[in-house]
A and B are shown apart, each in its own frame.
Chain A
Amino acid sequence: MMKASTQHEHMSAAGRDLDEAEVLRVENLAAHLHTGGGVVRAVDGVSFSLRKGETLCIVGESGCGKSMTALAILGLLPRPAGRIVSGRVVLAGVGDLAMLSAEAMRKVRGRSISMVFQEPMTSLNPVFRIGWQISEAILMHEAIGREAARARAIAMLELVGIPSPETRYDAYPHQLSGGMRQRVMIAIALACQPQVMLADEPTTALDVTIQAQILRLMNRLKTETGSSLLLITHDLGVVAQMATRVCVMYAGVIVEEADVGALFARPLHPYTRGLLAAIPTSRSGGARGKLSTIAGMVPNLARLEPGCRFAARCPDVHDRCRMAEPPLAAPEGAGEGGRGVRCWLHLSAGPVAPALEAAP
């Protein structure tokens, strides 16, 4: 645990690092899980930046580290197995979250950065009325009275589109449908007007028409409250509909980063291309075509081989890929700003042999 003074110095130093438009910057974040099978490098050097008013999507399949990234940012890694081993999580006006004590982090969570998870039934407390749970979140962070908190909670319920909010204030979570529960979670998340809302698969458990309602609601509230959204999902359809920018994760690292339009128009990393091609398509009247697949399986993050993590499944693999892991860097000849790809196919060799350059 750090002493308060050092912590404070660190916070003010970190706060200066951000650009004016940035609200959250994650730098080289690594989080490991200590399991019986060894040390799992669940998040292995992840960097990205979230700007004001933007929706940044992190997309990837099961086990790619996207949820662990979210938990690491929030200081909610499973204990005692999970631990941040390096990197910084700089939140505007707060500082490096990775350096905060559990106590200090509790004051930040829900106020400056808040979260919505996949299954609202497990995130809400089943024995308390939903209105009370929203009031509680407000009272925890703000010095206002119970009555004022209650009024705010009712206003929040109305804001997230729950009909007759005064009556619903007294409902228990089990009395609401899945979509309504997720609206309550969003009401709690936004009650203190955080700068960043972090949503981890918020619509995965919902039906498609309810998903459309919730996504639309999040978009509207993001605009109205001026917060930024970090949205974690496995669904490229949701990404296309919601994102400003996209990070594609694979095996604990970001393999591609781009503006949403560029990513879908010109995916560069073979994994991104594989994911997009695997989405079921209509047959346009003709015979059912074969869907494209990605051969093989995700590597074991406790026993990574040297080289590119996607090499074993990559259709375009060559010798260099097995020797050294490519860095996440601007692709060769790319005119688009802010684009990065972790693939030797798209990186220029440069004056130094890449195998040497990437060696530790």
Chain B
Amino acid sequence: MTPLLEAIEIARHFPLAGKLFRRSTRAVKAVDGVSIALHAGETLGLVGESGCGKSTLGRLLARLDEPTGGTIRFEGQDIAGLDEAALKPFRRRTQIVFQNPYSSLNPRQTIGDTLIEPLLIHGIGDAASRLQRAHDLLDIVGLRREHFGRYPHQFSGGQRQRIGIARALALEPALIICDEPVSALDVSIQSQILNLLDDLQKRFGLAYLFISHDLRVIEHIADRVAVMYLGRIVEEAPVADIYARPRHPYTQALLAAVPVPDPARRQPEVVLEGNVPNPIDPPSGCHFHPRCPLAEARCRSEMPPLVTGAGGHKVRCWVNQAEDPVVRNAWQI
């Protein structure tokens, strides 16, 4: 089956400012050779810490930014180098929901106008059918019709995120890229939005690329999970597999660091030390080796490839290789 969205070795390098009259040869490799596939109706969770490149990858796949290398295919068509006019059909099929719904909504526009605008831009329907569609969208996301004429400031954070989702649904997309959609919300509101996203996926067969730093949210919402570190994917696997048997030492560290809401299970003292290295000057070999207790000579000199093992479990590690029957946990004493 052809994937809905497929990225092959895509990269986004941000060149650093050079000295006057001299071009810089250095660059921040925010996304550095990422290959990823997303099928219709599935949720791919993308996790990693600040600066790992997960949001940049999301922006590339939504074509809000142009990759500096690689290919992106959407429904079989290469969209990596298309200009804005040529991208218009793609824009109908892919939408994005941002973290902060307040800053992504126009404060001077009523909710009704916000929902009608995408239909106008794409020339869909007549005035009456657009109005009807906007009302339907309010129903779909659990808002009321009397909300139609109100402004963003009149809503709570959770309601604003519902509006953001309604706007994303207006054009009946196949894919929604959700960039930290519940990170600004309280846990009781967060659960409402996660339930809504789940309902909408079942109802409309949507695919989600769900970007989050919250591993509990990802475990709940994702079918497959990809872990990013310094611009690269270091592990990708079905959700149950990666949470039960993480192979990459970085994934193991991330999962061990999540505070478990159970005082009877106080976590071991062993946690990942240090910080994410400077992406301008990443470590040689495997980017994770300076922080990895399992690192060997080869890890310092050679970047491991992302290898696919049984059950589609991919891992980029010389020590815990994809096909090894034994997985070493880097953080167990």
User: Chain A: residues with CB nearer than 8 A to chain B?
Assistant: 61-62, 177-180, 207-213, 215-216, 234-241, 243, 260-261, 264-265, 274-276, 278-285, 288, 290-294, 297
* Docked complex Cα distance between A285 and B219 (Å): 11
B213 contacts A208, CB within 8 Å? Answer: yes
A61 contacts B186, CB within 8 Å? Answer: yes
With A209-B254, A240-B262 in contact, is A62–B186 under 8 Å at CB? yes
* Docked complex Cα distance between A229 and B156 (Å): 32
Q: Which residues of B contact A243 (CB under 8 A)?
A: 263
* Docked complex Cα distance between A290 and B192 (Å): 9
Least CB distance, B50 to chain A, in whole angstroms: 5
Q: Which residues of A contact B260 (CB under 8 A)?
A: 237, 240-241
A235: nearest residue on chain B (CB-CB)? B259
B219 contacts A280, CB within 8 Å? Answer: yes
Q: Can you list 17 pairs linking A and B with CB atoms under 8 Å apart?
A: A62-B186, A177-B275, A178-B50, A209-B271, A213-B273, A237-B216, A237-B260, A238-B259, A240-B259, A241-B259, A241-B263, A279-B261, A280-B190, A282-B239, A291-B194, A292-B191, A293-B188
Contact with A along B263-304 (1 / 0, CB 8 A): 111110101110100000000000000000000000000000
* Docked complex Cα distance between A284 and B243 (Å): 10
Least CB distance, B195 to chain A, in whole angstroms: 6
* Docked complex Cα distance between A177 and B279 (Å): 13
With A264-B262, A283-B240 in contact, is A275–B187 under 8 Å at CB? yes
Q: Which residues of B contact A177 (CB under 8 A)?
A: 275
The count of residues in chain B whose C-beta lies closer than 8 Å to any C-beta of chain A is: 42
B28 at the interface (CB under 8 A from A): no
A279 contacts B216, CB within 8 Å? Answer: yes
With A212-B272, A240-B261, A264-B263 in contact, is A207–B220 under 8 Å at CB? no
With A180-B275, A240-B263 in contact, is A274–B188 under 8 Å at CB? yes
A241 contacts B267, CB within 8 Å? Answer: yes
* Docked complex Cα distance between A213 and B275 (Å): 10
* Docked complex Cα distance between A278 and B193 (Å): 11
Q: Which residues of A contact B190 (CB under 8 A)?
A: 278, 280
B40 at the interface (CB under 8 A from A): no
Least CB distance, A10 to chain B, in whole angstroms: 39
B191, B269, B273: most-surrounded residue (chain A CB, <10 A) = B191
Q: Which of B39-83 contact A (CB under 8 A)?
A: 49-50
With A177-B275, A280-B217 in contact, is A288–B259 under 8 Å at CB? no
B258 contacts A237, CB within 8 Å? Answer: yes
Least CB distance, A128 to chain B, in whole angstroms: 23
Additional A-B contact list (15), CB under 8 Å, known A210-B275, A243-B263:
A62-B157, A62-B186, A208-B213, A209-B257, A209-B271, A234-B186, A236-B187, A237-B259, A237-B260, A240-B259, A240-B263, A241-B267, A279-B261, A288-B220, A292-B191
B221 at the interface (CB under 8 A from A): yes
Q: Which residues of A contact B131 (CB under 8 A)?
A: none
Q: Which residues of B contact A237 (CB under 8 A)?
A: 216, 258-261
A277: nearest residue on chain B (CB-CB)? B191
Q: Which residues of B contact A239 (CB under 8 A)?
A: 261
User: Chain B: residues with CB nearer than 8 A to chain A?
Assistant: 49-50, 156-157, 186-188, 190-192, 194-195, 198, 213, 215-217, 219-221, 239-240, 243, 253-254, 256-267, 269, 271-273, 275
* Docked complex Cα distance between A264 and B188 (Å): 17
Q: Which residues of A contact B262 (CB under 8 A)?
A: 240, 264
B216: nearest residue on chain A (CB-CB)? A280
* Docked complex Cα distance between A288 and B200 (Å): 13
A216 contacts B269, CB within 8 Å? Answer: yes
* Docked complex Cα distance between A291 and B186 (Å): 14
B215, B261, B266: most-surrounded residue (chain A CB, <10 A) = B261
Q: Which residues of B contact A274 (CB under 8 A)?
A: 188
A278 contacts B261, CB within 8 Å? Answer: no
B220 contacts A208, CB within 8 Å? Answer: no
B261 contacts A291, CB within 8 Å? Answer: no
B220: nearest residue on chain A (CB-CB)? A280
Q: Which residues of B contact A283 (CB under 8 A)?
A: 219-220, 239-240
Q: Which residues of A contact B219 (CB under 8 A)?
A: 280-283
With A264-B261, A288-B198 in contact, is A209–B269 under 8 Å at CB? no
Least CB distance, A308 to chain B, in whole angstroms: 17
B191 contacts A293, CB within 8 Å? Answer: yes
Q: Which residues of B contact A292 (CB under 8 A)?
A: 191
